[in-house]
Chains A and B, each alone.
Chain A
Amino acid sequence: MEIPVATNGMEVVYRKPSTLTETPFHYCPGCGHGVAHRLLMEVVEEMGIQEKTIGVAPVGCSVFAYHYMNIDMQEAAHGRACAVATGIKRVMPDRFVFSYQGDGDLAAIGTGETIHTVNRGENILVVFINNAIYGMTGGQMAPTTLLGMVTSTTPYGREQPVMGFPLKITDLIAQLPGSYYVTRQAVHTPATVRKTKKAFRTAFEYQQHKKGTCFVEVVSNCPSGWKMTPVESNEWMEKNMFPAYPLGDLKVPHPILSQV
């Protein structure tokens, strides 16, 4: 059945932000990256800071983020996005700088840079997409892979004696005095999408006031890597990922200090 789309007498209440380019995302169907990209760029559009925003793309599935975000961007070496972002922010302290990294990039190969950047309290936003797998390279184990979870390099499930524990790096980040605002969100339902957008907005506002590092983890899915349909992957994520990585704020500023 064809439902005619008539828009006379109607107004646009939601559209793709102008801060995303025309290039279609290369991500697999149902992947959370597209939503996270869009939300970040919606915030940039709404705050009117396109001219002042510089992003850093990682190595991983979102390696081409600069093809989609219509802002000045740099592509960093694997794991080094926080160091690159530090370099930018130090020479352009009035710009809004963010890094956008996956779990392998941020919490395995880039752990050192991540921890030290946050510990210095660099005035940047770190966006951390955690889907517990290396999507780009074909579904290998990530530092955040859950115990028992099957990946192409943990074919019998992640066993702690062999591969250690899932790394809850966001909990660690929240312990560092340099972090100002640390939160864990998701992008799979209208409600979680709204919250994540608010988190990005809050983080950029704190950055404007030089409060320290803001760190937003987005627990996300990987339908291809998890070998599920997008809908199944979101159900699996709710059932298995959220208990290990519960959503919510891990560190919020003291109410008086946070008045900006």
Chain B
Amino acid sequence: MIRGTIKVAEESCKGCELCIGACPQDSLGLSDKINVKGYRFVRLVQDNCTGCVNCALVCPEAAITVYRQKKTTVKREPVAVGV
């Protein structure tokens, strides 16, 4: 399995949960903590992210940066691949 991970800009997240539904791995959930705006922000709840970018695609806040394990054979452009 390809390994991936995400970083969430916690202060931008509004806890809309759309990414949670878009994640095929059920990797995401809301934090118990709240951010400065009073929203429970999203975070990884399982260590099984594949870096598929679905969460980032549907995120209305552009709050998610997606990382994926480097492939040695294929060179990727660092912007918005998978779209």
Contact = CB atoms under 8 A, between A and B. Distances in A.
A32 B19 CA distance: 13
B59 interface: yes
Contacts, number: 132
Interface range, B side: 35 or more
A1 B45 contact: yes
Best-buried of B45, B58, B66 by chain A (most CB within 10 Å) = B58
B60 A34 contact: yes
A259 interface: no
A13 B62 contact: no
Contact of A5 (B44, B68, B80): B44
A129 to B, nearest CB: 12
Contact of B53 (A5, A14, A17, A38): A14
Q: How large is the interface on A (under 10, 10 to 19, 20 to 34, 35 or more residues)?
A: 35 or more
A12 B78 contact: yes
A229 to B, nearest CB: 8
Interface string A202-230: 00000000000000000000010000011
Give the dominant DSSP class at B's interface.
loop
Contact of A11 (B11, B78, B82): B78
A231 B21 contact: yes
A236 interface: no
A6 B43 CA distance: 14
Contact of B81 (A6, A14, A31, A193): A14
Given A10-B3, A188-B58, A29 B14 contact: yes
Nearest to B14: A29
Interface of B: 3-7, 9, 11-12, 14-18, 21-22, 39, 43-47, 51, 53-54, 56-70, 76, 78-83
5 contacts: A10-B70, A11-B76, A12-B67, A25-B62, A231-B18
